[in-house]
Structure 1
Amino acid sequence: MTDPTESATLPVTSSLHDKEVQEVIDQAEESKEDPLGKDVTEDPDSYVYPYVKEDLFTSEIFKVEIQNLPKFIGFNDLKKFLTKHGVNPHKVKLFGKQPFAFVTFKNQEERDKAMKVVHGVQWKGRVLSVKLAKPKADPMRKRKQEEADDSGESVSKRQARNQDQGQSAEPLSTQLANVVTPLWNLPYDKQLDRKEQEVVSILQQLSREIGKNNKAMLPWLFVQREKNNGMCCPLEKIRPSPVQTEYRNKCEFLIGMGADGQDKTVGFRLGKYIGGSCAVVGPGDTIHVPAETKKVVQVIQDYIRTTPHSVYSPETYEGHWRQLTVRTTRSSQVMAMVFFNPQKLSEEDIDALKKSMKMYFIEGEGKDSGVTSLYVVRNGQRTSPDDLPCELVFGDEWIYEQLLGLKFRISPHSFFQVNTPAAEVLYSAVGEWAQLNQDSTVLDVCCGTGTIGISLAKRVKKVIGIELCQEAVADAKVNAELNGLNNVEFLCGKAEDVFPTVLNAVISPNVIAIVDPPRAGLHSKVILAIRRAEHLKRLVYVACNAKAAMNNFVDLCRAPSNRVRGAPFRPVRSMAVDLFPQTPHIESILLFERVDYSTTCDKQQVQAAEATPPTS
């Protein structure tokens, strides 16, 4: 049976079509149009991003807009459609109930090819239209332009500006606390109540979504809602963090102009770039940053102020010092990673800088900083920070953390929960809910350095971890050896590519999946593989953003179809664990169990649902 998301396409291949598309491309190339419709070559003060005028790579300058898309298509449908037509996008963003999409490419050739191939194609009864899209305007430059144009300032903008000026009367420490720890002045028990109520709202929403997408679950849902305040499953009492201050074992700081006017300041940004602010405030008064981290920040700041190199400007793309990441452990090990944009500096200049840093920390004022590992990370324009190579300047290559009586090696880019004591609470709950025994096989998806799987390994037959970050996989393998485990295996790759194959190959009477994905949730391919694997009866989902993972939850529970095959799951237990005191963020755990239609109870529910009208 064919995939219902696909349909026949009828490309328009007439010479008139090719001519129209080529005219659009030629006109755009001739005019060099910027986001405001101005000619960039004639308007050097235009407030577009510098990459539009300079020789800097960004997919923004190779962007098209696809209009008249079919209703009800998803991101994956569009990606599949483009791939089928030989189009190789760099980035795809889908918008709206009347869908349109921005699609960016790595070069002009790919962009022009897409315009010629897709424009005029019929898809699900819609004839697609493709046009060149304008790069985004730089919000910083736009704000400055608007502020300079006093005569055209609207009342709302003037009020916003006056309000900002009023807020600036607050001490910088208070302003910063409001940005990085918004709940700092709320008693901790009130913070927990607020977070627990947020999870209640999410579970009530999930209950409504399951009802819309799986009629057979309605009788069961009615019972759950009655018992659980409208929620789809019981919510256990929120578990607090054992520590509420100085808990972060990983902190990321920007290096920029200080809000107090001091250049080369290391700290947190006071506002967002899009809001027109690049000002940085040091972390000295923040309550979630450990004292040893603050000490490292001060030492690094003192050092970079002795150098002739300027701070990096996100507005002009000039300058060198960009960011500082500090990782700490319970055993007082400290890893510092300094992100530096080399710009046009020679290798000799870079080597001299690294030598200078090394001497500063070995013999100079930094020798008492507590830093045990110092890295320099060359951060240019083209690569994600997590993919950048780290150059060890001095000290140990790794740091080690203790968690649940186990030892874990941590590399610069490896993921490790930022609140170690609270992570112990979280992982203990995961192990309890998984209902493990010596015949169990645990599939640890998005496993990071292997913390969850390794903490459960002695209670099960086999653990298989899957992780995208190569550094983290290397750490996970070492961590298994450090803790004397030989029943643990770690695989490197995208979960959507690796997990389906692993799942099909596992033969075990008791397979449990534990997933702890990034904020956006799991790829739909992983969810579909889980649904198809009928021998997988139980799933523990750890979500750092349950709202963002809602689509995953719904797909696990929706009724079977040509696309979603296999019996659905349903949520049977939930809980929140506070890993992020003083902030609105919360970690949630949901236990899903496979619906067993062979039981009398579930058969009766299906029969009852067939006579029940849909409801939300």
Structure 2
Amino acid sequence: MFGSRSQSGSQVVMADVMTADSSNLNQETDLQPGSLQEEKQPKEEPGAESNKEGEEGEDCSNSDIYRYIKDDLFTSEIFKVQIQNLPRYIGFNDLKKFLSKHGLNPHKIKLMGRQSFAFVTFKNQEDRDKAMKLVHGVHWKGKVLSVRLAKPKADPLLRKRKQDGEAADGGQPAPKRPAEGRDGGEDEPLGVQLANVVTPLWQVPYPEQLQRKEQEVEAVLHTLTREIGNSNKAMLPWLFVQKEKNKGVCCPLEPIKPSPVQTEYRNKCEFVISAGADGEDKTVGFRLGKYKGGSCAVVSPSDTIHVPEGAKRVVLAFQNYIRSTPYAVYSPETYEGHWRQLTVRTSRTNQIMAVVFFHPQKLDEDETASLKESLRSYFTDGEGKDSGVTSLHFVRMGQRTSAGSEDLPCELVAGEPWIHEELLGLSFRISPHSFFQTNTLAAEVLYSSVGEWAELDQDTTLLDVCCGTGTIGISLAKRVRKVIGIDLCQEAVNDAKVNAEVNGLTNVEYHCGKAEDVFPSILNAVVSPNVTAIVDPPRAGLHSRVILAIRRAEHLKRLVYVTCNAKAAMNNFIDLCRAPSNRVHGAPFRPVRAMAVDLFPQTTHCETVLLFQRVDYG
């Protein structure tokens, strides 16, 4: 029965369709972490990473690959400049402060550090022209800056089609490199092609998958070892001893912990809605490639091994429903259409949440209301009833929003507002936008290890940074005096508060806000003989201000850092260990233990856990 308990405007900004593709669940976003040297950069717009098209002199006014800049849609790509001859070693934050000092408010900044230039976009022509006037010829750190107009990045899909067309006229296009575990390519069944994209290790024996991931973490430690030596000469004697003891790296690397389950483990999946690679319209599934790679084709997840059967049932039911409606799928190429994404969350309590992302375009309120009622009826009394959905939400997409935005309001269409999950004998409420580890059984392994490494006692105040629904802190709360959690997402904080109450905990408190804004004041207010922090930030890592606050707080002695992208978090690791300076106050940390935990079988990714301890100069 639906709802019974057995216990994420009309057009989307061009930047979203090129950079916010979350359909391929094995592919992590390659963002740079917040760092004392390289501040976390905003999501890139088209053209941010390269200006090759402009430099080659393509005609923006006539080429279809620049059609998006002529549409009735804001994109800062049309107000872009290139600042050249930048000083060496400056970071994103340095450039941002420099521009602010000159009264400039850029919309986006993309710093190309090795090439000593940056692309900067503005919200209007006045701001762009002002930047060119004020910055060109300015002396900064021994360099004379130059500024020139930069042409926008081409629409990647249209550019790919143009290149393919030119290749067809003049010969065969360059062959694609086969993915892991396959010899052929486009002649293979679509299910195999998709498996090679979203689960690239699906044909690799699991022990070999684990070995590869452990080797990746070992390579990260080699990099960290080298960087510690470069950034903190005082640690060189200690580093020499550690390298002798630990096979050339700065700390022991413990054996990787496998996932208890290797298939059907994803409790959250984001499915794109588009034209199918098999020619079928309104297909719900995963893309065979990314939009910026020139692909919009979608394949059903029916043959994928990491998606649970419950989620597949919902996908099929929802696909049947949208095919019965007159509304088209949303096109990132033309900005037309309606159906955008379906997010499905499942749990071990047999509850299923479905979140439908829809662009109303020019539909009036009555039409939208009628659609939601039709959707409700389909999943409560119609053919979709057997899919098992217990929580159905509807999200209206706006002009400048992507499906991954946490501030998009979810309208409850039917059932309960949330689902519940059990982890380590505890119960957790999960809302549509709240973070919860995607592999519940492996998360239990991860959190158990984190708790062991933290060396907690009844005098400990535990800081749970980027806490999500509170899973880590709540699972450890009975072992400490107090838990303080911080998260950016208000839904997650609300869930965490409820979860603490449901599990009978009174020594837990939660705060909502950016970690860089909230954490320093909370940390300074903590009076405790034993302060330990556990951080589990997004892929890009912690903001530099959080790292600075951690370094200043001398009473914080231990820090457990959990990351799904250790390479992206490298600058955080280095900044924790670097020598004190005028800007970096407080004794440094050093890594003492490291381990990988496999939360993503069949893919190249895993969680990395590092334990850092404060250096005691006494």
- Same-fold status (TM-score > 0.5): yes
Are 2:424 and 1:389 equivalent residues in the alignment?
no
Are 2:284 and 1:266 equivalent residues in the alignment?
yes
SS of equivalent residue, structure 1 residue 149: helix
**1:492 is matched with which residue?**
512
C-alpha contact 1:34 1:52 (8 A) present in aligned 2? no
SS of equivalent residue, structure 2 residue 392: strand
Are 2:248 and 1:230 equivalent residues in the alignment?
yes
**CA deviation string 1:236-271 (max 9, x = no partner):** 111111111000000011011111110000000012
Letter aligned with residue 540 of structure 1: V
Match of 2:85 among 63, 68, 71: 68
**CA deviation string 1:398-435 (max 9, x = no partner):** 11111111111111111100000110111111111111
**1:14 is matched with which residue?**
none
**2:603 is matched with which residue?**
583
| Superposed displacement of residue 177, structure 1 | 0.6
**1:567 is matched with which residue?**
587
C-alpha contact 2:421 2:427 (8 A) present in aligned 1? yes
SS of equivalent residue, structure 1 residue 572: strand
**2:437 is matched with which residue?**
417
**CA deviation string 1:85-118 (max 9, x = no partner):** 2222222111132421111223333333333332
**CA deviation string 1:326-359 (max 9, x = no partner):** 0011111100011111111111111111111111
What is the correspondence of 1:100-499 to structure 2 with a 5 Å cutoff? 100-150=117-167, 153=170, 157-160=173-176, 167-385=185-403, 386=405, 387-499=407-519
C-alpha contact 1:571 1:593 (8 A) present in aligned 2? yes
Structure showing greater radius of gyration is 1
SS of equivalent residue, structure 2 residue 301: coil
Return closer, same or farther for 1:165/1:136 CA change in 2, 3 Å cut-off. Answer: farther
Return closer, same or farther for 1:34/1:220 CA change in 2, 3 Å cut-off. Answer: closer
Return closer, same or farther for 1:439/1:159 CA change in 2, 3 Å cut-off. Answer: closer
The gaps in structure 2 that reach 5 residues or longer are 1-35, 38-52
Q: Which moved more, 1:235-244 or 1:88-97?
A: 88-97
| Superposed displacement of residue 508, structure 1 | 0.8
Q: Which moved more, 1:112-121 or 1:90-99?
A: 112-121
Match of 2:568 among 532, 548, 568: 548
SS of equivalent residue, structure 1 residue 377: strand
Letter aligned with residue 137 of structure 1: A
Distance between the aligned counterparts of 2:162 and 2:195, measured in 1? 30
The gaps in structure 1 that reach 5 residues or longer are 6-32, 599-616
| Superposed displacement of residue 62, structure 1 | 2.3
C-alpha contact 2:284 2:300 (8 A) present in aligned 1? yes
SS of equivalent residue, structure 1 residue 210: helix
Distance between the aligned counterparts of 1:455 and 1:549, measured in 2? 25
Distance between the aligned counterparts of 1:571 and 1:437, measured in 2? 21
Q: Which moved more, 1:439-448 or 1:51-60?
A: 51-60
Return closer, same or farther for 1:93/1:150 CA change in 2, 3 Å cut-off. Answer: closer
Letter aligned with residue 108 of structure 1: Q
**CA deviation string 1:469-522 (max 9, x = no partner):** 111111111111111212111111111111111111111110001110110111
| Superposed displacement of residue 161, structure 1 | 11
Letter aligned with residue 557 of structure 1: C
Distance between the aligned counterparts of 1:569 and 1:162, measured in 2? 43
Return closer, same or farther for 1:592/1:291 CA change in 2, 3 Å cut-off. Answer: same
Identity score, percent? 73
SS of equivalent residue, structure 1 residue 583: coil
Higher relative contact order (CA 8 A, sep 6+): 2
| Superposed displacement of residue 278, structure 1 | 1.0
| Superposed displacement of residue 162, structure 1 | 12
Return closer, same or farther for 1:536/1:150 CA change in 2, 3 Å cut-off. Answer: closer
Distance between the aligned counterparts of 1:171 and 1:384, measured in 2? 31
RMSD: 2.1
Q: Give runs of ≥4 in structure 1 deviating > 6 Å.
A: 33-36, 161-165
**CA deviation string 1:254-309 (max 9, x = no partner):** 01111111000000001222222211110111000000000000000000000011
C-alpha contact 2:270 2:343 (8 A) present in aligned 1? yes
SS of equivalent residue, structure 1 residue 338: strand
Normalized against structure 2, the TM-score is what?
0.88
Question: Number of aligned pairs?
Answer: 564
Distance between the aligned counterparts of 2:519 and 2:135, measured in 1? 32
Are 2:522 and 1:505 equivalent residues in the alignment?
no
C-alpha contact 1:35 1:137 (8 A) present in aligned 2? no
Distance between the aligned counterparts of 1:150 and 1:99, measured in 2? 34
Q: Which moved more, 1:51-60 or 1:519-528?
A: 51-60
**2:72 is matched with which residue?**
55
